[in-house]
Amino acid sequence: MRFSRMLLPTLKESPSDAGVISQNLMMRSGMIRKVAAGIYNLLPLGLRVITRVENIVREEMNRAGAQEVSMPVVIPAELWKESHRWDEYGKELLRLRDRHGREFCLGPTHEEVVTDMVRREVRSYRELPVNIYQIQTKFRDEIRPRFGLMRGREFTMKDAYSFHATDECAEREYRNMHDAYCRIFERCGLEFRAVEAETGNIGGRFSHEFMVLAETGEDAIASCSACSYAANTERAEIRQPDETASIHAPKPIETVSTPGKKSVEEVSAFLKIAPSRLIKTLIYDTDKGVAAALVAGNYDLNEMKLTRALDAAWVKLSDEDTVKKTSNAPIGFAGPVGLKADIWADYSVKGMVNGVTGANSADAHLINVCEGRDFKAQFADLRVVAAGDACPRCKGTLEIHRGIEVGHIFKLGTKYSEAMSATFLDAAGKERPFIMGCYGIGVGRTAAASIEQNHDDLGIIWPRPLAPFSCEVVPVNVADEGTRKAAEGLYESLNASGIETLLDDRDERAGVKFKDADLIGIPVRVTIGERNLKQGLVEIKERRAKEARLVKVEEAAATVAGLLKQA
């Protein structure tokens, strides 16, 4: 491709609305342009990268035995009503009507459509298992789209769905997909972790997220320094601490005045006591009634864990009225002592001696509160994991990293097949619902994540498998006949040997071309200038390297090929 003929509008200045590096560099390198909030045009350079990712995904999915299909973007409401998600999914589901007033939605994911497809066509266990996937545009009406392709409303996703006769078969496929995903992200040159995750409103029994490690990631993951345990912090468990005797001797409980001191920070500063000695008491409404949850002041409560501990369908922080009714005090002064509610406590509260809690009356706290002596609670792992917490699987400790979720695999079970009566006949002639799995990859997000991991001050540094071109040829001065001829010759021989090459044949100054080359980040650059050419030499530089090397013109193509063969 010739730069002069390509729609490749690079930007010297950063766009004012770029929130993360990948968005900034995608805009500046002319890969994407915004059309509306969370909706983008992919320009030629951007599409090339996306296509690279798609092809890697496609190859590995096919290799893993999945079959590619294409399902509609516009989906009739009735399918979503069958699964009950028409009501459950919320405003992220963009709904619309056709000219007859019939209801449709734009597909944010395709469990319903694929389940409908399979239930129509598959009758017997003999036809199972099947794994069906597509690489397709999805639409989710995100509350707050941001960060370019990282969290758009319209985006490209690979979504796969598998159908099985038995649980063992479904789990085998889950592992198969896990391995395929690892191959995909390895081939993309990404540093990633597969972590245990929450299933959210896709539903299902268990799931893993594939997280690309990056400071700008929107998710936090906990991983063990000693073993392979890794989980989203939404889910990460904490090993129950060993019982240790308190170094404090229990003192008699006392009420102290704490006017207007509601938050942990305010109370701990006012009483000059470490936040870890405070017991935070949170009042929750749940489908099982009002419950109190306790956690040490230096930790956060994890509502998912509380929900599981209570065996509740949902929990929600209570409003002011309920808090007043339950604790006889405004928000900020609740405590477990004498509280009339179901009390659950995190292990961080276990064995607490001489702690501080709300007094269940306005502007007062209790000091020297001892767990067991002054109140009783049911204990569970209820808090959000923090760095240094004990690994649930071994004796190691957990580290916290930030990550970008690029893939997510779910073992769904029969949630959709039961709701939608999608069944097959087993060997005994008995009708059974399909056991399902689903497996997603954010294609644009994967490209964005790659930039987050591979860039420097000057621009993108594409790993070879995702690079829009493999090699860029830069004639320093196209006005010079010899330079131009050498560049054209090299361009042709590189292309002829199957190396996709960008020739910067623009009549621009060298500095402009070098800046653009660094910005766009093509792995190998060949610079052809008059001075070196007089000695029959050209300069070859890898984007990631500091130094360039000089080689003979005749050897340039072979040298480039050699560099590209290395990983």
Partner RNA sequence: CGGGGCGUAGCGCAGCCUGGUAGCGCACCUGCUUUGGGAGCAGGGUGUCGGAGGUUCGAAUCCUCUCGCCCCGACCA
| Under rule CB under 7 A, residue 439 binds RNA | no
Member of 442, 468, 521, 523 binding RNA (CB under 7 A): 442
Q: Minimum CB separation from RNA for residue 518, in Å?
A: 4
| Under rule CB under 7 A, residue 332 binds RNA | no
Quickly tell me which residue has 């269940």 as its tokens: 360
Q: Minimum CB separation from RNA for residue 152, in Å?
A: 8
- Which residue, 565, 554, 489, 481, is CA-closest to 524? 565
Q: Minimum CB separation from RNA for residue 466, in Å?
A: 19
Q: Using alpha carbons only, what angle is made at residue 538 by residues 532 and 543, rounded to the nearest 5 degrees? A: 125
| Closer of 274 and 545 to RNA (Cβ) | 545
| Residue 306 · residue 297 · CB < 8 Å | no
Site for RNA in 391-430 (CB under 7 A): 405, 408
Q: Which amino acid is at 384?
A: V
Member of 297, 392, 413, 440 binding RNA (CB under 7 A): 440
Q: Minimum CB separation from RNA for residue 248, in Å?
A: 33
Q: Give the whole-angstrom CA distance, residue 341 versus residue 289.
A: 9
Q: How many binding residues for RNA (CB under 7 A)?
A: 62
Q: Give the whole-angstrom CA distance, residue 217 versus residue 220.
A: 7
| Residue 292 · residue 283 · CB < 8 Å | yes
| Bridging pattern class, strands 455-456 and 501-503 | unpaired
Q: Give the whole-angstrom CA distance, residue 501 versus residue 2.
A: 9
Upstream peptide bond of 241 is cis (omega within 30 degrees of 0): no
Q: Minimum CB separation from RNA for residue 508, in Å?
A: 7
| Under rule CB under 7 A, residue 516 binds RNA | yes
Q: Give the whole-angstrom CA distance, residue 22 versus residue 38.
A: 15
Kindly give, in sequence order, each residue whose CB lies less than 8 Å from that of residue 170, ignoring residues fewer than 6 positions away: 129, 162, 164, 411, 413, 435, 436, 437
* Whole-angstrom Cα Rg for the chain: 29
| Residue 196 · residue 391 · CB < 8 Å | no
| Under rule CB under 7 A, residue 320 binds RNA | no
Letters for 75-104 (x = contact with RNA by CB under 7 A, - = none) are: ---------------x-x------------
Q: Give the whole-angstrom CA distance, residue 311 versus residue 305.
A: 10
| Under rule CB under 7 A, residue 307 binds RNA | no
| Under rule CB under 7 A, residue 161 binds RNA | no
| Closer of 113 and 370 to RNA (Cβ) | 113
Member of 223, 332, 529, 556 binding RNA (CB under 7 A): 529
- How does DSSP assign 320-336, residue by residue? HHHHHHHHSS-TT---S
Member of 52, 119, 140, 411 binding RNA (CB under 7 A): 140
| Residue 141 · residue 406 · CB < 8 Å | no
Letters for 163-202 (x = contact with RNA by CB under 7 A, - = none) are: -----------------------------------xxxxx
Q: Put the strands of the sheet holding 103-106 in their side by side order.
A: 74-76, 103-106, 95-97
Site for RNA in 29-68 (CB under 7 A): 34, 36-38
| Under rule CB under 7 A, residue 205 binds RNA | no
| Closer of 209 and 346 to RNA (Cβ) | 209
**Candidates 110-118, 123-131, 367-375, 517-525 — which segment interacts with RNA by CB under 7 A?**
517-525
Letters for 470-509 (x = contact with RNA by CB under 7 A, - = none) are: ------xx-xx----------------------------x
Residues binding RNA (CB under 7 A):
10-17, 19, 28, 34, 36-38, 90, 92, 108-109, 138, 140, 143-147, 151, 155, 157, 198-202, 405, 408, 440, 442, 445, 458, 476-477, 479-480, 509-512, 514-519, 527-532, 539, 541, 548
